[in-house]
Chain A
Amino acid sequence: MITISKMSYTFGKQLALKDVNFCMKQGEFVFLCGPSGAGKTTFMRILHGALPVQRGKVDVAGYDLNTLPERRKHLLRRDVSVVFQDFKILTNQTVFANVALPLKVRGIPRHIIEKRVRAVLRSLHLDHKAMSPCEELSGGEQQRVAVARAVVVKPKLLLADEPTGNLDYELSMRMMDIFQQFHKFGTSIMIATHNREIMERMSGARVVTLHDGVMHEGCVETGGGL
């Protein structure tokens, strides 16, 4: 699903990622952990095509990101969904409209959109809020809308950047159950998180750590966020 070799990324003179080698198989569940500023978000943004590959080789869901032109990046994003730390939802639109958005841009017929969105909202306990504007929702509900929008397209790979950052313990655990459900249906999932409790809950998941831009296999004590 993901093959990365010797990938480095710099913001100006500041090194964000250094010679990262990483491989993720189809159907794998990976936790990406590390302290703030370790390069987790940069790593995720590169995988999603939001940042260019500066050095090294990156292949995601069958797309060679070194050669994928900007005009074809939407194809990558149709196979790779992202849940952002800051949700990135359209707050002036309804829950339904937000979740239906990725299906609409794919040109999926309205009756199928209706069915799939209702099903996802039900599984995330948001069906009663379907027609509410997102600005009226709590932080936790907005986060669930972001997750619903990411999973409604049945992506090959789901990237989630701190998806439980705004949730209390109970909601975080419920969110992880949802991710687990989609994982069972074959979606590869990578979650960037600080939260040790949710990692413990997913005992079979693989853990990689980013620290000062360097990737390590397993959970490494950093003295920071972990």
Chain B
Amino acid sequence: MSVFFHLLGQGVRDLFRSPWSLCMTIAAITLVSFLGGAFLMLVHNLDLQIGARQGNVQFQVYWQPQATTEEVRDVWAGLSSIEGVVNVRTFTPDQALGVLAESFQNSADMEWMKGRSPLPPTALVECELPAEDGKKWAASMVERLRALPKVEKVSFNPLQVDLLTSWVGLTRMAFWPVTGFLLVVVALVVGNTIKLALLARREELEILRFVGASRAYIQFPLLVGGAFQGFLGAGLALGLLKLLHHGIEEMFNVPPLWMTISFLPPLHCLAIVATLAAVGVLSSLVALRN
């Protein structure tokens, strides 16, 4: 066990033998990780905004004008139980009249129409858009709502479905290629640093071999070095991201956006650190094998 901890410490100490090389490597990993982290933060915030504000599609359901309030109320009661429905707002003819008056900013007097409203009973059904086949799902939902008793018309904005599907598709499509590219860059940087370290210490490693050091004894500190560089680079990048986040957190919290930028969740941060440490180990392993 003491040998394990000795080698662990040795791996970190060895890196500081060439402080400039270490600084350059850490800087490169930090910058690449920062870019990756910023991209992840963008995707994360887009997901949040899409989910919170526009991730749902609204269907407007109009009943026939001759439908009685009792008949309509029975249907309204069952609307929330339809699969995918997250919110239902209903309007009696008088309430619909009130909303209409509000939209005219009360410049038109509609009070005299109260109790004799020509508007039909209406419901605004908000549904969560599934990740795939949004258009097909929307069409089936229209059919389902139209089939409700005494419903005359169902309308929704197909453009909204298209926009949401495109956003979600774009972010998911770009995520893996961008992440993969950045990880390859980190792997190359760490791998080359380890290779250079191996070249610089070739004689020392040869001596270690000749005095009976096992392969694990020689390679373990180098793997620790790779992991440490990944770990440190990721930690610094997260620190920089936090600074960036601090600066832009409230930047878009103004009308009409009202968007607060969120930092990456702790699990994502942990995943970044763990992934970069693992990439460091793997690239060191490849450098050692070569």
A interface with B by C-beta (< 8 Å): 48, 50, 70-71, 73-75, 77-78, 81-82, 84, 88-90, 101-102, 104-107, 149, 153
Contact indicator B211/A102 (Cβ below 8 Å): yes
Interface SS of chain B: helix, strand, loop or mixed?
Answer: helix
Contact indicator A107/B209 (Cβ below 8 Å): no
Question: Which residue on chain B has the smallest CB distance to residue A73?
Answer: B209
Pairs of residues from A and B, 10 with the lowest C-beta to C-beta distance, nearest first = A102-B211, A78-B212, A105-B213, A77-B212, A74-B214, A107-B3, A74-B212, A88-B207, A101-B211, A71-B215
Contact indicator B217/A105 (Cβ below 8 Å): yes
A50 to chain B, nearest CB (A): 7
Q: A70 CA to B214 CA in the complex, in Å?
A: 10
Contact indicator B212/A48 (Cβ below 8 Å): no
B83 to chain A, nearest CB (A): 59
Contact indicator A48/B204 (Cβ below 8 Å): no
Total chain B interface residues with beta-carbon distance under 8 A: 16
Q: Which residues of A sit under 8 angstroms from B2, Cβ to Cβ? A: 107
Contact indicator B209/A77 (Cβ below 8 Å): yes
Question: Which residue on chain B has the smallest CB distance to residue A48?
Answer: B210
Mark interface residues in B199-242 (1 if CB within 8 Å of A CB, else 0).
00001101111111111010000000000000000000000000
Q: A110 CA to B15 CA in the complex, in Å?
A: 24
**9 CB < 8 A contacts A-B:** A50-B210, A73-B209, A77-B211, A88-B210, A90-B207, A102-B211, A102-B212, A105-B211, A153-B212
Q: A88 CA to B204 CA in the complex, in Å?
A: 8
Q: Which residues of B sit under 8 angstroms from A153, Cβ to Cβ? A: 212
Q: Which residues of B sit under 8 angstroms from A107, Cβ to Cβ? A: 2-3
Q: A88 CA to B211 CA in the complex, in Å?
A: 10
Q: A186 CA to B99 CA in the complex, in Å?
A: 105
Q: Which residues of A sit under 8 angstroms from B211, Cβ to Cβ? A: 77, 81, 101-102, 105, 149
Question: Which residue on chain A has the smallest CB distance to residue B207?
Answer: A88
Q: Which residues of A sit under 8 angstroms from B214, Cβ to Cβ? A: 71, 74, 105
Q: A77 CA to B207 CA in the complex, in Å?
A: 11
Question: Counting chain A CB atoms within 10 Å of each CB, which of B207, B212, B213, B215 scores highest?
Answer: B212
Question: Counting chain A CB atoms within 10 Å of each CB, which of B204, B206, B213 scores highest?
Answer: B213
A98 to chain B, nearest CB (A): 9
Q: Which residues of A sit under 8 angstroms from B3, Cβ to Cβ? A: 107
Contact indicator B215/A82 (Cβ below 8 Å): no
Given A81-B211, A84-B210, A105-B214: 14 more A-B contacts, CB < 8 Å: A48-B210, A50-B210, A71-B214, A74-B215, A77-B211, A77-B212, A88-B203, A88-B206, A88-B207, A90-B204, A105-B211, A105-B212, A105-B213, A153-B212
Task: Out of A70, A75, A77, A106, name the residue touching B210 (CB < 8 Å).
Answer: A77
Question: Which residue on chain A has the smallest CB distance to residue B6?
Answer: A104
Q: A81 CA to B211 CA in the complex, in Å?
A: 7
